[in-house]
């Protein structure tokens, strides 16, 4: 099954191709054909499996751009997910002129939302509470909705949205399609399905028994903007002779290869868009040692026999447990030591936990190596090489050259050695210490997040949007990554991804909210 077969609308196919999707993920292969037919569906799938596309692609194919009425509604548990989902859907709809996708969620100014809704929105991505709010105000008219999606249904129930969801489902016209996605299938989900879905097809990505090779596996929580920097540090630190790096899309492969080359690595990319002759050239370079880093998509890597790499890097968390096992299985062959490293951004940590559970394997969290760690390792390696040369080579000629120069210039031999060492280390090119990441302990936030305390609240006439704007604006982090914001009279708690927390605290030092200087610090768990 490929995207040409699944995207009946060529405009969506174009968008998906531009996004660099190469291979249909298992949930997409199963869900899209059913959903396109207009049938109801229950899909058991986690975030990170590509489920937004699994419902988004068929949903958009059923929307008529010439009709400006509301045609589809996606319910998500949180604001963050609603924004993420809307962004992804907008990408799929990039070439479908006339389709408007709008996220609506609590905390955002409702009058603004009403104005946007009046402009003719066909697809709404919303949190249940805010959707009800609009239904009650008659600013959302459900009579024309043809598709409704319950995304992360179990999570919505955990958050107490059952009644809201049922109320929303009651307002739908008789003729409509319901797509329900949930990571788990507890009884209340099955009850909702029983009451509101018509003869649904149940799909589940069946897990094969997977045998994970016994190699060391590590993961690093990273800021998405610093991914290539962290990757470079890991490559420098472990210095593998041959490495294989996996990305989820062709576009990422190309971008990463350019980035790595810019940093002075011998890297080459391999993906499905390349001609056979190009692929052969890349593989020859890798086998001959001209290239020591190969960056590939899962599909491209499948067709090649490179099974003896020293390290596998998952630049992107794979979309399927099976891909993870295939990827890391490329290292540690024939009794050789192998290592696998995975970079994790924000909520991808859940996907990784899922992989660990299904593959019954342990992936250890490691702190990102600091510049000093890398300097120490580089020095250690150089000193080992130097000792080897001193013991095994004849240095007479070199000593003669040095003596001549030292006499002329009046330097000590130690100074000269230090200068040569600096040249070897490329000291000037050492990355700046941007990654310093503090450990914040347990701040009572959800996994992967840090809860921050800000000494400003409702009494100062601050709104959630002000907090969101300040935190995202000052730190340069995408607003969608900001987690829960709880506002009280005199203070506010805001959750941000672990890897951004230090940046946010730092950036907020000089920031003002509503003209007031604020203090931001990690929350205590008891708060
Ligand atoms: P989701 O599970 O929908 O949250 O998707 C997780 C990530 O995978 C998103 O960044 C998607 O853009 C990406 N993605 C979804 N489907 C594919 C695919 N078939 N190939 C590559 N990336 C994908």
Angle (deg, nearest 10), helices 413-425 and 371-392:
120
Q: What is the pLDDT of residue 491?
A: 92
Q: 412 CA to middle of ligand 1, Å?
A: 59
| Residue 214 DSSP symbol | S
Q: 246 CA to middle of ligand 1, Å?
A: 14
> Which of 31, 50, 155, 254 best tests ligand 1's pocket when mutated (most atoms within 8 Å of CB)?
50
**pLDDT block averages, 10 residues each, the chain of length 527:** 88 94 91 96 85 96 94 92 92 94 89 88 95 94 96 90 95 96 91 95 73 83 91 91 94 95 91 84 87 91 76 93 87 76 91 88 91 84 90 92 88 90 67 45 83 91 87 80 89 88 84 86 75
Q: Which tokens belong to 280? A: 């052969």
Q: Which tokens belong to 94? A: 């990039």
- The distance in angstroms from the start CA to the end CA of the chain is 51
Q: 385 CA to middle of ligand 1, Å?
A: 44
Q: What is the pLDDT of residue 299?
A: 82
The CA distance from 25 to 377, in Å, is 40
What is the residue with the minimal CA distance to atom 16 of ligand 1?
Answer: 50
Say if CB 522 and CB 493 are below 8 A apart: no
53 CB less than 6 Å from ligand 1? yes
Residues 6+ apart with CB under 8 A from 103: 79, 82, 83, 85, 86, 124, 125, 126
> Which of 319, 321, 344, 354 best tests ligand 1's pocket when mutated (most atoms within 8 Å of CB)?
319
Q: What is the pLDDT of residue 434?
A: 36
Angle (deg, nearest 10), helices 51-61 and 26-36:
20
- Ligand 1 atom with the smallest distance to the CA of 46 is 2
Say if CB 212 and CB 325 are below 8 A apart: yes
The CA distance from 20 to 300, in Å, is 13
Say if CB 459 and CB 453 are below 8 A apart: no
Which of 199, 203, 205, 206 has the alpha carbon at shortest distance from 38?
Answer: 199
Strand blocks (E) in 78-166? 101-104, 123-126, 147-150
How many Cα neighbours within 13 Å face the side chain of 505? 20
84 CB less than 6 Å from ligand 1? no
- Ligand 1 atom with the smallest distance to the CA of 56 is 3
21 CB less than 6 Å from ligand 1? yes
Instruction: For strands 520-522 and 449-454, give the pairing.
Output: antiparallel
- Ligand 1 atom with the smallest distance to the CA of 51 is 3
Angle (deg, nearest 10), helices 79-92 and 10-18:
110
Q: Which tokens belong to 429? A: 């090119």
What is the residue with the minimal CA distance to atom 15 of ligand 1?
Answer: 50
Which of 47, 115, 39, 37 has the alpha carbon at shortest distance from 76?
Answer: 47
- Ligand 1 atom with the smallest distance to the CA of 249 is 21
Say if CB 123 and CB 60 are below 8 A apart: yes
Is there a shared CATH topology between the 3-205 domain and the 216-365 domain?
Answer: yes
Question: What's the pTM?
Answer: 0.60
Q: Where are the domains of the chain?
A: 3-205, 216-365, 378-432, 439-522
48 CB less than 6 Å from ligand 1? yes
CATH class of 439-522: alpha beta
What is the residue with the minimal CA distance to atom 13 of ligand 1?
Answer: 50
Phi, psi of 48 (to 5 degrees): 95, -5
Q: Which tokens belong to 88? A: 């992804």
CA 320: distance to chain centroid?
14
Q: Which tokens belong to 48? A: 């990170």
Q: 454 CA to middle of ligand 1, Å?
A: 34
Say if CB 246 and CB 301 are below 8 A apart: yes
- Ligand 1 atom with the smallest distance to the CA of 20 is 21
* Rg (the chain; Cα; Å): 27
The CA distance from 365 to 372, in Å, is 20
Say if CB 453 and CB 523 are below 8 A apart: yes
Q: 236 CA to middle of ligand 1, Å?
A: 29
Q: 47 CA to middle of ligand 1, Å?
A: 9
Neighbours of 252 (CB within 10 A): 21
342 CB less than 6 Å from ligand 1? no
Q: 315 CA to middle of ligand 1, Å?
A: 14
Q: 456 CA to middle of ligand 1, Å?
A: 38
361 CB less than 6 Å from ligand 1? no
Q: How far is CA 311 from CA 320, 328, 434, in A?
A: 20, 8, 25
Q: 314 CA to middle of ligand 1, Å?
A: 15
- Ligand 1 atom with the smallest distance to the CA of 25 is 19
Say if CB 221 and CB 349 are below 8 A apart: yes
**CATH match of 216-365 with 3.40.50.300:** yes
297 CB less than 6 Å from ligand 1? no
CATH class of 3-205: alpha beta
Which of 82, 80, 17, 31 has the alpha carbon at shortest distance from 59?
Answer: 31
495 in helix, strand or coil? strand
Q: How far is CA 35 from CA 5, 96, 141, 434, 438, in A?
A: 14, 19, 23, 46, 46
Residue identified by tokens 């100014």 is: 109
Which of 197, 211, 204 has the alpha carbon at shortest distance from 165?
Answer: 197
Sheet of 492-497, strand order? 485-487, 492-497, 449-454, 520-522
Q: 155 CA to middle of ligand 1, Å?
A: 20
Q: Which tokens belong to 458? A: 């409702």
Q: What is the secondary structure of 277-330 as a DSSP string?
A: HHHHHHHHHHHHTS--EEEE-HHHHHTS----BSEEEESS--SSHHHHHHHHTT
Q: What is the pLDDT of residue 357?
A: 87
The CA distance from 74 to 197, in Å, is 15
CA 523: distance to chain centroid?
25
């Amino acid at each position: 099954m490929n995207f040409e077969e699944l995207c009946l609308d060529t405009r969506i196919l174009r968008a998906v191709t531009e996004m660099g999707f190469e291979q249909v993920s298992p949930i997409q292969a199963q869900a899209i054909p059913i959903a396109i037919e207009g049938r109801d569906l229950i899909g058991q799938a986690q975030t990170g499996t590509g489920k937004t596309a699994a419902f988004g692609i068929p949903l958009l194919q059923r929307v008529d751009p010439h009709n400006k009425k509301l045609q589809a509604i996606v319910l998500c548990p949180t604001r963050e997910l609603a924004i993420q989902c809307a962004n992804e859907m907008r990408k799929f709809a990039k070439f479908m002129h006339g389709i408007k996708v709008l996220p609506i969620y609590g905390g955002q100014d409702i009058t603004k939302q009403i104005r946007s809704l009046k402009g003719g929105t066909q697809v709404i991505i919303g949190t249940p509470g805010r959707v009800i709010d609009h239904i009650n105000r008659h600013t959302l008219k459900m009579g024309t909705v043809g598709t409704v999606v319950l995304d992360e249904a179990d999570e919505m129930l955990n958050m107490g949205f059952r009644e809201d969801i049922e109320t929303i489902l009651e307002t739908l016209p008789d003729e409509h399609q319901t797509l329900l996605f949930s990571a788990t299938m507890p009884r209340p989900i099955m009850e909702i399905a029983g009451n509101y879905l018509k003869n649904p097809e149940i799909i589940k990505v069946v897990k094969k028994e997977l045998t994970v090779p016994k190699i060391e596996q590590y993961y690093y929580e990273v800021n998405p903007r610093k991914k290539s920097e962290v990757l470079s540090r890991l490559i420098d630190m472990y210095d593998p002779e041959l490495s294989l790096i996996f990305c989820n899309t062709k576009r990422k492969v190309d971008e990463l290869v350019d980035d790595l080359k810019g940093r002075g690595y011998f890297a080459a990319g391999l993906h499905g868009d390349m001609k056979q002759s190009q692929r052969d050239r890349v593989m020859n370079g890798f086998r001959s040692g001209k290239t020591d880093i190969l960056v590939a998509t899962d599909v491209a890597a499948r067709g090649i026999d490179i099974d003896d790499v020293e390290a596998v890097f998952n630049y992107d968390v794979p979309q399927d447990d099976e891909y993870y096992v295939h990827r890391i299985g490329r290292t540690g062959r024939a009794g050789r030591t192998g290592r696998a490293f995975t970079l994790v951004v924000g909520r991808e940590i859940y996907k990784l936990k899922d992989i660990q559970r299904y593959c019954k394997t342990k992936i250890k969290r490691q702190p990102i190596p600091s510049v000093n760690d890398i300097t120490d390792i580089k020095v250690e390696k150089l000193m080992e090489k130097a000792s080897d040369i001193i013991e095994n080579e004849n240095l007479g000629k070199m000593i003669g050259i040095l003596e001549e120069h030292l006499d002329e210039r009046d330097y000590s031999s130690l100074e000269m050695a230090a200068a040569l060492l600096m040249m070897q280390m490329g000291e000037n090119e050492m990355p700046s210490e941007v990654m310093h990441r503090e450990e914040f302990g347990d701040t009572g936030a959800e996994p992967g997040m840090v809860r921050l305390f800000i000494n400003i609240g409702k009494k100062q006439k601050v709104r959630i949007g002000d907090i969101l704007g300040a935190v995202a604006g000052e730190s340069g982090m995408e607003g969608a990554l900001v987690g829960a914001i709880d506002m009280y009279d005199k203070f506010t708690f805001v959750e941000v991804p672990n890897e951004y927390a230090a940046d946010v605290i730092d950036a907020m030092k000089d920031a003002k909210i509503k003209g007031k200087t604020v203090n931001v610090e990690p929350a205590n768990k008891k708060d």
